[in-house]
Amino acid sequence: MPATEMTLMDEPDRLRVALTPIRRRLLARLREPASAVQLAAELDMPRQRVGYHLRVLEEAGLIELVEERPRRGFAERVMGVTANAFLVDPGVLTSPGETGETGETDRSDGSGGSGEEGGEDDGAAEVAEGFRRVADQYAAEHLVEVAAGTVRDVTRMAAAADRQGVRLLTFTLEARVRFAEPGDVHDFTDALADALARVAARFDTPGGRPYRLVAGGHPAPGRPETGESPASGTPETGGRPVTGTPETGS
């Protein structure tokens, strides 16, 4: 089976298996299938040592058997990666108790208890959560949290679509803007939110396929040699929507 493009590393034990230097080298090399004999020669390592690391990676589901070649009384196993890119779920590094069994962040604030159903306390907790998120709108930590969630969700759905032989329909929008004053960031955010609400209302269809749109902004990294912002030229736009058949992603 051909390797999927991406897979999410969301199990701590599986991540630890992949993090050693030699196994990272093997994973990178095995984007092109190879046997332990080939790898040992290329890496100048004993074949037994290479074979050990390959067994560990195979047991973790990071590599798989591609084919077996007959060799003088035994079968040479040719291995390949199960995915071309392994992305680490930021939730793997979360402290125990911060994530539930589903991997979703526990957002209970302790005021109402997550076990009660339909009570006023649940409603109050939801309102409090809403206000907390508004307060975090300009926090870098909140932007990172949202971006991490996007990586997690898209990677999982893309891998599932790849296994089904279909395409996950996504789109990306990018733009660069230069603000004269820090306060302009807030005004820009309000204007962008209003425009987004109008466009979303125009295309929103009851019973249609739901999409999640995330918009975030951060200072452009400075040039390494000067530390200055690279936004000195003409503002750039890009990230045209990807077109195609929307087969999966729900």
Same domain for 130 and 152, yes or no, is yes
pLDDT surpasses 80 at 13: yes
| Tens digits of residue pLDDT in 103-162 | 333 333 333 444 444 444 555 666 566 556 655 778 888 888 888 888 888 888 888 888
Same domain for 147 and 224, yes or no, is yes
Same domain for 44 and 159, yes or no, is no
Same domain for 225 and 179, yes or no, is yes
Same domain for 76 and 148, yes or no, is no
pLDDT (0 to 100) of residue 165: 86
| Tens digits of residue pLDDT in 56-65 | 999 988 999 9
CA 85 – CA 113 distance, rounded (Å): 39
Same domain for 230 and 219, yes or no, is yes
Please give the tally of structural domains in the chain. Answer: 2
The 3-state DSSP class for residue 3 equals coil
Q: Share the mean pLDDT of the chain.
A: 77
CA 185 – CA 193 distance, rounded (Å): 12
Strands (E) in 139-246, as ranges, are 174-175, 237-238
Same domain for 77 and 125, yes or no, is no
Contact predicate 66/78, CB 8 Å: yes
Which residues make Cβ contacts (< 8 Å) with residue 110, sequence separation at least 6? none
DSSP 11-43: -HHHHHHHTSHHHHHHHHHTTS-EEHHHHHHHH
Would you say residue 39 lies in a domain?
yes
Same domain for 70 and 96, yes or no, is no
Would you say residue 62 lies in a domain?
yes
Residue written as tokens 């590599």?
63
pLDDT (0 to 100) of residue 14: 83
Which has more confidence, 210 or 113? 210
Phi, psi of 128 (to 5 degrees): -60, -40
Which residues make Cβ contacts (< 8 Å) with residue 140, sequence separation at least 6? 218
Contact predicate 109/125, CB 8 Å: yes
pLDDT (0 to 100) of residue 234: 36
Would you say residue 101 lies in a domain?
yes
Would you say residue 246 lies in a domain?
no
- Residue 9, strand partner residues: 88
Contact predicate 232/220, CB 8 Å: no
Would you say residue 243 lies in a domain?
no
| Tens digits of residue pLDDT in 71-112 | 877 889 999 998 888 888 777 765 444 444 333 333 333 334
Same domain for 33 and 124, yes or no, is no
What proportion of the chain, given as a percentage, has pLDDT over 70? 70
| Domain residue limits at 40 | 4-87
Q: Find the CATH number of the domain harbouring 23.
A: 1.10.10.10
Residue 132: alpha-carbon gap to chain centroid: 24
Would you say residue 245 lies in a domain?
no
- Ranking 27-31, 95-99, 130-134, 227-231 by mean pLDDT, the lowest is 95-99
pLDDT (0 to 100) of residue 136: 73
How many other C-beta atoms lie within 10 A of the C-beta of residue 93?
9
Which residues make Cβ contacts (< 8 Å) with residue 238, sequence separation at least 6? 174, 175
Which tokens is 84 given? 């071309």
Would you say residue 249 lies in a domain?
no
Region of 54 (left: φ > 0; alpha: ψ -120 to 50; beta: rest) is alpha
What proportion of the chain, given as a percentage, has pLDDT over 90? 38
